[in-house]
Structure 1
């Protein structure tokens, strides 16, 4: 929608925003009322519809008819102060203030994305104290960081919603650490902290007050060196080590993660690539339902699964296996066949394997398969392999060939290739990969031209628990 140009004659009307007309929802004025199917719905249903509309359209429903006029005020407020409301700071302040003044509450959702703070801290604090936001269920709060050396405090008034919040996303600000010990979030199921400066003790206190938390995204934060996860409800956890901005001297970044006791945890998703700048130790002590793991890279200096230990993707001991993991993603130099095989022994029931390759021409991937020492994953479980950044050179050919010749239940192998895939190159690859000798006779092999620098995922990959495979969207699959 294009932004209206303000004129002297255009004013904000009492029942609308920016003088615009109502949306085309069940408006039977001048027509046959028998065709107004939406208008026949009960007020409760219409209220639900209004609460799901964009903020501007929800407010404009008051102008549809006399019957619709009171519904917006009687419906829990959905206030999104993003670009759909207006693209101008000054108008955003006016619109948000007006909506909060006009609506009696309660509220379902308040989203303030990328707000330029400047001299408006008192204004934001006033919004958060508004009666209209009583009973708030979803809070999305983020500043636009104009000067990374300045402090951008989260108003403590934002935490007054702790008793009712179900979804919270707090970004690009300093957390009021002194409040953490008293905070309780009895309804919170989804939490995102992005670019937040928060102390280690404050974060642990906050998490201990979230008894039903199901998904947690911790990305680019400062102040937490060691994080211990102990949660009876958490199902999905995504995190990154690299920090956001440069606030303060010698910032504390996450360097150790301990999954101490997470009986419901299904997915553990490290978000950093192996750029060598972000290093972390991961210790998985108890996660009996873990199904999805990755991306693992040499940015993880140490990975401990029980008594099994990997350092920089190289196994030091293979004494514990985790049979629950079904989807595994690895960011591997080479790719290193011996290292990948050791991961498959640690996670012997993997069904889908994703490899992000960084070709090393001197990598030796020659390895014979010993049927007297079988790899369970290749024998009975591995059905799908995706190999990104495939060059078709000897190291990655030898790597792929080992899978092709030994994965007995493989159904599909997808190559994200650099080459344009002309007939000559494809014929050469078919011969070098020995596709005619594949162990699984019904397996399909698909080549797509693509280059992937890293698994860059969205919040939904951590929070959408209906998504059974967060890596599936790559290469247009």
Structure 2
């Protein structure tokens, strides 16, 4: 017995003072035995400040954070004594590794963002989130107060996988000057963005690997046409309080891999070619809501304000449908189900008015 216990203690290696005599692992630092690359990935998942504090754990950890992929979130320094601007500058000056994610409110960083985004600490950045200051608010700011995005954000066009643009004005001059091309971009989100219709289509076309597209509370364009062999998910909503042209029409001309389409406003939506579309919503009873399936005018299904106008063809791929109704109507539900013969799940949201 004594010999086996001795061998067991020897095999465990890093045994801290105070561990039990049987070598059960109490007080043993197993994490520090992991390779640097694995530790770097773990540290990169922590909030920015907490990741930096891992340098204080032990001499073994001092270089890990500085060389780990950097996730830099401006909001995480909101309570920092020296202020978020100084904290971000300090982190960028200290970090030596590649960049992974840079997140900051578009409306507060101003000209500082160009200097930050030019930092070598953010080289090979994979994700940029220039988000709205109040992420929960749906009220768009007046177009006159919206600034162009920092030009340095486009220097990562070859490495970006995720790009979120919020509270920005993407002018035609910007889209032309940047010669937009994002060969690896998989997710694009435009939130409270002012952009013209030609520039919108230019930006989408510049993303040949795009899988997910979000257009939220944006304006400056009336119609968005989708021709993409890679898109699998689209979510759109307009904004009613803009003085500029309002987003009201979505046309899916060719999207062979599209699986999910979510619209959160009264839209006119035309789905010409989307053979794999399985999830669709919300269909609403609001004025201006119209959805059609099929490319030929007289060989399509048309649903207007939850009422089936024409049913020349059925949307056979749709398995999940979400409906928004002012009052529950069984007749309207049964009418809709005739358009979706392969339906497996139906979600109904009913508006309840409290007097």
Equivalent position of 2:297 in the other structure: none
Count of residues in Structure 1 that have an aligned counterpart in Structure 2: 321
SS across alignment from 1:204: helix
Pick closer, same or farther for the CA change 1:31–1:217 going to 2, 3 Å.
farther
SS across alignment from 2:346: strand
Equivalent position of 1:234 in the other structure: 231
The whole-number CA distance in structure 2 between the counterparts of 1:333 and 1:174 is 35
Is 1:318 matched with 2:311? yes
The whole-number CA distance in structure 2 between the counterparts of 1:140 and 1:89 is 24
Equivalent position of 1:96 in the other structure: 88
Equivalent position of 2:289 in the other structure: 301
Q: Residue 52 of structure 1: CA displacement?
A: 0.8
Is 1:166 matched with 2:161? yes
Equivalent position of 2:127 in the other structure: 138
The whole-number CA distance in structure 1 between the counterparts of 2:341 and 2:326 is 22
The whole-number CA distance in structure 2 between the counterparts of 1:30 and 1:114 is 51
Equivalent position of 1:108 in the other structure: 100
Q: Residue 321 of structure 1: CA displacement?
A: 0.2
The whole-number CA distance in structure 1 between the counterparts of 2:113 and 2:106 is 13
Equivalent position of 1:153 in the other structure: 148
The whole-number CA distance in structure 2 between the counterparts of 1:87 and 1:186 is 37
**TM-score, normalised via structure 2 length:** 0.83
Alignment of 1:198-209 (within 5 A): 198-209=195-206
SS across alignment from 1:348: coil
Is contact 1:180-1:203 (8 Å) kept? no
Equivalent position of 1:59 in the other structure: 52
Pick closer, same or farther for the CA change 1:242–1:143 going to 2, 3 Å.
closer
Is contact 2:159-2:184 (8 Å) kept? yes
1:288 pairs, out of 263, 275, 279, with 275
Is contact 2:307-2:336 (8 Å) kept? no
Is contact 1:178-1:202 (8 Å) kept? no
Is 1:329 matched with 2:322? yes
Q: Residue 261 of structure 1: CA displacement?
A: 0.4
Q: Residue 298 of structure 1: CA displacement?
A: 2.6
Equivalent position of 1:394 in the other structure: none
Q: Residue 334 of structure 1: CA displacement?
A: 2.9
Equivalent position of 1:129 in the other structure: 118
Q: Residue 177 of structure 1: CA displacement?
A: 3.2
Q: Residue 176 of structure 1: CA displacement?
A: 4.3
Is 1:42 matched with 2:35? yes
* Runs of 5+ unmatched residues, structure 2: 1-13, 20-25, 135-139, 295-299
Is contact 2:80-2:87 (8 Å) kept? no
Pick closer, same or farther for the CA change 1:125–1:176 going to 2, 3 Å.
farther
Alignment of 1:72-471 (within 5 A): 72-82=65-75, 84-87=76-79, 91-113=83-105, 116-117=108-109, 121-144=110-133, 148=142, 149-181=144-176, 182-243=179-240, 246=242, 250-272=243-265, 279-299=266-286, 300-306=288-294, 307-358=300-351
Deviations 1:283-326 (A, max 9, x none): 00010000000111133432111211122222211111011111
Q: Residue 173 of structure 1: CA displacement?
A: 1.5
SS across alignment from 1:346: coil
Pick closer, same or farther for the CA change 1:348–1:269 going to 2, 3 Å.
same
What CA RMSD, in Å, does the superposition of the two structures yield over aligned residues? 2.5
The whole-number CA distance in structure 2 between the counterparts of 1:345 and 1:288 is 18
Q: Residue 34 of structure 1: CA displacement?
A: 7.0
**TM-score, normalised via structure 1 length:** 0.63
Q: Residue 159 of structure 1: CA displacement?
A: 1.5
Is contact 2:283-2:289 (8 Å) kept? no
* Runs of 5+ unmatched residues, structure 1: 1-26, 273-278, 359-388, 390-417, 419-450, 452-477
Is contact 2:106-2:149 (8 Å) kept? no
The whole-number CA distance in structure 2 between the counterparts of 1:29 and 1:339 is 70
Is contact 1:267-1:291 (8 Å) kept? yes
Is 1:68 matched with 2:42? no
